[in-house]
């Protein structure tokens, strides 16, 4: 039975004078994975997030749970094998969120079919007993049948292989619920603003509630910096002179209508002009196309796509698809930044995604790198290292066989399938039969569920991450914002002034996900017009 999660009750636990075993900074994939690992071993665990869970990179991935075909081509067998193993575990531990997806690699020369076919057979072998399916060669006719919009000039056939797909933000919320199930404490909108020290040793954190301004001095046996692309910011709270660990890059994606990829198979282009692979992936009734790999000097919570990134994606898609999507067809554009550990290579596409753990002289433990697929292994490695550092009583990991919150092998139909066994409870809420917007698949009841059981505090939390409305159709999500604000206000006890501010804040943010043939000024005017109708 689900019990409502009351934010103030969680905050009340911060006022108790106790020492946490683990204080984890960061509510993305790495932080949540670490916190779940610690809590399921019985350690007293606290996770603090500056904004919302998965606000950054962890909600902006290519939506794949995969071994990494590109890393196989680079000869990084260990990384691929580890990721394929974790892919299989995640498919087993969250079958309501992770499913098999068939990928077609089109072949326009006989040698490319042989080369990629052989490589993908190695990919199959590395997955061992946790394989999702075997790759096979396709004839020209079979390839066209699977991808009817694929360009056929010169097409000789293809190769089909299997990988995993998921909803990244929903997995983050599932990990949040799992953490709470195991008596962990997690709070969003409660940033760490400093580190506590006794002598030269980090002994906890100073945190502040963004809503009330209340500050908390929180003691912890180990403090884990799991803030993704922002780890250097936290490291400099410890040591202002700390050199940068990261060479961040960003990846842009566009979302278009399903007519560009009408069947259930995805496309993988193994080598583009920038050396990356490009995916066109069916997702929630739309198609995600990406991703780029562009070095960036500065990190941001709302990174913007570069014009050359959009041009690159559309140019590459046009080499393979008929009809090819144009700027006018883009429903949303989103960008994720990657925490790549510094290396001598000047190409971020060539850097490994293997994670790195470092410990400062003061005992601050930092985990960075990696990817969603290996989040569990990253958390396991962090906890094992922490046990050694601070002499915690050792407890064995159980996460490789841990059914995540909502686990079921018979999920409901979309959109409630991502909730697993919680779907029946959502159907009992008001609005379970009413769409938020005619162009979005989500229900009014999901807003109420997000407020009561998933710590959603804002319209953005609901439209960007509890549902994926922002990524599926920006304009529709902006039109739905007033309705979401009204439901949230009812659930959270907010007034009309709060509602109006929420709508304005969301429209301002959502405008950054718009991409069309209009000028920037025209796009801004369009957003203002929507706001005036709210």
pLDDT score for 167: 98
Question: Does pLDDT of 447 surpass 80?
Answer: yes
pLDDT score for 273: 80
pLDDT score for 414: 93
Burial class for 57, CB neighbours closer than 10 Å (0-12, 13-18, 19+): buried
Query: Where in the sequence of the chain do the CATH 3.30.9.10 domains occur?
Result: 94-166+247-343
Average pLDDT value for the chain: 92
Q: Which of 165, 180, 188, 179 is nearest to 372 (CA)?
A: 165
In the structure, how many helices (H) and strands (E) does the chain have?
A: 17, 18
Per residue in 380-435, pLDDT (tens digit) is 999 999 999 998 999 999 999 999 999 999 999 999 999 999 999 999 999 999 99
Share of the chain above pLDDT 70, in %: 94
pLDDT score for 111: 87
Query: Where in the sequence of the chain do the CATH 1.10.8.870 domains occur?
Result: 416-533
Per residue in 266-284, pLDDT (tens digit) is 999 988 887 788 999 999 9
Rounded Cα distance, 437 and 323, in Å:
28
Question: Does pLDDT of 348 surpass 60?
Answer: no
pLDDT score for 353: 59
Rounded Cα distance, 88 and 76, in Å:
19
- Which two tokens mark 246? 């990261």
Per residue in 165-194, pLDDT (tens digit) is 999 999 999 999 999 999 999 999 999 999
pLDDT score for 516: 64
Rounded Cα distance, 397 and 416, in Å:
30
**How large is the average pLDDT for residues 476-484?**
98
Question: Does pLDDT of 216 surpass 90?
Answer: yes
Per residue in 111-125, pLDDT (tens digit) is 888 888 999 999 999
Q: Which of 401, 379, 383, 402 is nearest to 393 (CA)?
A: 383
Query: Where in the sequence of the chain do the CATH 3.50.50.60 domains occur?
Result: 7-57+169-245+351-401
If one looks up domain 94-166+247-343 in CATH, what number appears? 3.30.9.10
Strand partners, 215: 208
Question: Does pLDDT of 484 surpass 50?
Answer: yes
What is the number of other CB atoms lying within 10 angstroms of the CB of residue 338?
A: 24
pLDDT score for 531: 47
Per residue in 490-507, pLDDT (tens digit) is 999 999 999 999 999 999
∠ CA 468-474-475, nearest 5°, is: 135
Residues with Cβ < 8 Å from 175, sequence gap 6 or more?
A: 29, 32, 33, 35, 36, 375, 404, 405
Residues with Cβ < 8 Å from 377, sequence gap 6 or more?
A: 82, 86, 355
- Which two tokens mark 56? 């950054």
Architecture of 7-57+169-245+351-401 per CATH? 3-Layer(bba) Sandwich (3.50)
Q: Give the H/E segment covering residue 290.
A: strand 286-290
| Sign of the dihedral defined by the CA atoms of residues 7, 10, 15, 21, in that order | negative
Please give the DSSP secondary-structure letter assigned to residue 15.
T
Burial class for 369, CB neighbours closer than 10 Å (0-12, 13-18, 19+): buried
Q: Give this prediction's pTM.
A: 0.94
Q: Which of 439, 442, 256, 252 is nearest to 331 (CA)?
A: 256
Per residue in 87-107, pLDDT (tens digit) is 999 999 999 999 999 999 999
- Which two tokens mark 44? 């007293």
Architecture of 416-533 per CATH? Orthogonal Bundle (1.10)
Query: Which pLDDT band holds residue 73 (cuts at 50, 70, 90)?
Result: confident
């Amino acid at each position: 039975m689900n019990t409502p999660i009351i934010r103030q009750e969680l905050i009340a636990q911060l006022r108790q004078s106790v020492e946490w075993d683990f204080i984890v900074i960061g509510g993305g994939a790495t932080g949540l994975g670490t916190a779940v690992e610690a809590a399921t071993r019985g350690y007293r665990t606290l996770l603090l997030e500056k904004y919302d869970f998965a606000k950054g990179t962890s909600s902006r991935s290519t939506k794949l749970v995969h071994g990494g075909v590109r890393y196989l081509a680079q000869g990084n067998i260990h990384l691929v094998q580890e990721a394929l193993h974790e892919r299989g575990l995640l498919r087993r531990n969250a079958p309501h969120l992770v499913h098999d997806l068939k990928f077609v690699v089109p072949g326009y020369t006989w040698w490319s079919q042989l080369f990629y076919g052989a490589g993908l057979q190695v990919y199959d072998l590395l997955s061992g007993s946790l394989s999702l399916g075997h790759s096979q060669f396709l004839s020209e006719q079979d390839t066209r049948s699977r991808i009817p919009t694929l360009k056929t000039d010169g097409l000789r056939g293809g190769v089909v292989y299997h990988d995993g797909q998921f909803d990244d933000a929903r997995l983050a919320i599932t990990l949040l619920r799992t953490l709470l199930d195991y008596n962990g404490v997690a709070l969003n909108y409660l940033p760490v603003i400093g580190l506590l020290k006794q002598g030269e040793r980090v002994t906890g954190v100073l945190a502040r509630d963004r809503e009330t301004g209340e500050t908390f001095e929180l003691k912890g046996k180990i403090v884990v910096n799991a803030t993704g692309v922002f780890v250097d910011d936290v490291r400099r709270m410890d040591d202002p002179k700390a050199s940068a660990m990261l060479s961040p890059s960003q990846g842009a994606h566009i979302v278009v209508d399903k007519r560009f990829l009408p069947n259930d198979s995805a496309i993988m282009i193994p080598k583009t002009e920038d050396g990356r692979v490009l995916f066109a992936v069916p997702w929630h009734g739309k198609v995600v196309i990406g991703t780029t790999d562009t070095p960036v000097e500065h990190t941001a919570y709302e990174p913007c796509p570069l014009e050359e990134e959009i041009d690159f994606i559309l140019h590459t898609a046009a080499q393979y698809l008929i009809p090819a999507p144009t700027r006018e067809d883009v429903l949303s554009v989103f960008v994720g930044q990657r925490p790549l550990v510094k290396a001598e290579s000047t190409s971020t596409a060539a850097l490994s995604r293997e994670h790195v753990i470092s410990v400062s002289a003061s005992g601050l433990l930092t985990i960075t790198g990696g990817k969603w697929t290996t989040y569990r292994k990253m958390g396991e490695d962090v906890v094992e290292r922490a046990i050694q550092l601070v002499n915690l009583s050792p407890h064995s990991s159980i996460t490789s066989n841990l059914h995540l919150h909502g686990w079921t092998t018979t999920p409901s139909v979309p959109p409630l399938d991502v909730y697993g066994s919680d779907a029946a409870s959502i159907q009992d809420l008001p609005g379970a039969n009413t769409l938020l917007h005619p162009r979005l698949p989500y229900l009014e009841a999901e807003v109420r569920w997000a407020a009561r059981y998933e710590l959603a505090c804002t319209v953005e939390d609901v439209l960007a991450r509890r549902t994926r409305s922002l990524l599926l159709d920006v304009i529709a999500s902006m039109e739905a914002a007033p309705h979401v604000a009204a439901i949230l206000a009812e659930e959270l006890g907010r007034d009309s002034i709060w509602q109006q501010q929420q709508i304005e804040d969301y429209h301002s943010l959502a405008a950054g996900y718009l991409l069309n043939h209009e000028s920037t000024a025209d796009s801004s005017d369009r957003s203002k017009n929507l706001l005036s109708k709210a």
